[in-house]
């Protein structure tokens, strides 16, 4: 197992951005940069041993600094949506940056996906990795508290990429961290993902209303297009979902217990990905808003459904939904969540 480092470029304001490559002994490589903590590439063999890059993204820093739909990024302070960009905590109302219609999405105008993280290389007997740290100052994007966040990416020889999230604050705040990688197990730029076979360990989902905001209702997936309890293709019932899948699934496991959340197989390549997490929810997003505007690493345009996201998370708009699991972090507590992406054929 090995880790290497190279200069990926400089930001618009002249800051250096470094790209780290993690590789194991089974030809699995993961590239992560210090800008946005973004996973720029995951290369894995298919059933014939042919290597392919299975995440959407760009070849250069300039494109990542432009407008794009969070390819590969670390998301914070709050992954997903907060209604009308406001919430009340301990009797005080906080107004956040609004960047999705009337709502707050994925941390605001300058979320964790658009900052430079401090990096430290990690290596031991069982894994290689990268520890990223960022201090989000009190009031950033409207959030209370100085929040120190540490995210560790760890790759082992079992073909597991673990993401460990930790954070501490000096004032009560809300927090919901995730990663926003878009996967295509055929290889990025090789068409849509509607033939991927997916199973999700969830018997419920949070019903989305206007602006994809939760209504507060948790509904059974049974008898709906959201039923992935048995594996089916992503395209099987997507036409019955207005706009495509962009919904939070209520995972069956007890909170904070690391367990299987989803399994995805791409029949042509034979590639398989499993997602394990301690988080209570997971957003399935099928790249509905991709429209061919973005040209990826392969030179191919990313059209609708060119990738899917499995964003492990707390539920959207939890700060305004008292029945949802709490996303409040208080001083003296440590936020800790783990998600593992495991690759095989």
**pTM (two decimals):** 0.98
Selection from 84, 86, 87, 88 nearest residue 103 by Cα: 84
Q: How many separate domains does the chain show?
A: 1
Assign 103 a pLDDT band (cuts: 50, 70, 90).
Answer: very high
CB of 58 within 8 A of CB of 70?
no
pLDDT, tens digit, 9 for 90 and up, residues 151-210: 999 999 999 999 999 999 999 999 999 999 999 999 999 999 999 999 999 999 999 998
User: Is residue 255 pLDDT above 80, yes or no?
Assistant: no
Selection from 238, 316, 312, 277 nearest residue 82 by Cα: 316
- What CATH number is attached to the domain comprising 284? 2.70.98.10
Provide the pLDDT for residue 254. Answer: 82
- Rounded Cα distance, 27 and 277, in Å: 24
Range of the domain at 253: 2-344
Residue positions annotated with a catalytic role: 180, 311
Mean pLDDT of 138-143: 98
* CA R_g for the chain: 19
């Amino acid at each position: 197992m090995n880790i290497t480092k190279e200069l990926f470029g400089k930001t618009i304001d002249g800051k250096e951005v470094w790209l780290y490559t993690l590789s194991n002994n089974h030809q699995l490589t993961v590239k992560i940069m210090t800008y946005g903590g973004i996973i720029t590439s995951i290369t894995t063999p298919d059933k014939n041993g042919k290597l392919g890059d299975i995440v959407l993204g760009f070849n250069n820093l300039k494109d990542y600094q432009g407008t794009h739909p969070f390819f590969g990024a670390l998301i914070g302070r709050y992954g997903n949506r907060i209604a009308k960009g406001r919430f009340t905590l301990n009797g005080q109302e906080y107004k956040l940056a609004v960047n999705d219609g009337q709502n707050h999405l994925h941390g605001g105008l300058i979320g964790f996906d658009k900052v430079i993280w401090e990096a430290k290389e990690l290596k031991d007997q069982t894994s290689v990795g990268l520890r990223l740290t960022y201090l989000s100052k009190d009031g950033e994007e409207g959030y209370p508290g100085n929040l120190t966040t540490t995210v560790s990416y760890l790759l082992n020889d079992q073909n597991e990429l673990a993401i460990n999230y930790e954070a501490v604050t000096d004032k009560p705040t809300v927090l919901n961290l995730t990663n926003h990688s878009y996967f295509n197990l055929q290889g990025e730029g090789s068409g849509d993902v509607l033939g991927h076979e997916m199973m999700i360990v969830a018997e419920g989902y949070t019903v989305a209303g206007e602006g994809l905001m939760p209504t507060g209702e948790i509904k059974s997936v049974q008898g709906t297009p959201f039923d992935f309890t048995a594996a089916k293709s992503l395209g099987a019932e997507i036409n019955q979902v207005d706009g495509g899948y962009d919904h939070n699934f209520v995972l069956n496991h007890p909170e904070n217990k690391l367990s299987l959340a989803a399994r995805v197989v791409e029949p042509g390549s034979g590639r398989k990905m499993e997602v394990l997490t301690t988080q209570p929810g997971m957003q399935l997003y099928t790249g509905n808003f991709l429209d061919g505007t973005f040209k990826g690493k392969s030179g191919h345009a990313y059209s609708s459904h060119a990738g899917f996201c499995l964003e492990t998370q707390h539920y959207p708009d939890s700060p305004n939904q008292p029945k949802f699991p709490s996303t409040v972090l208080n001083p003296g507590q440590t936020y800790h969540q783990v998600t593992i992406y495991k690759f095989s054929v």
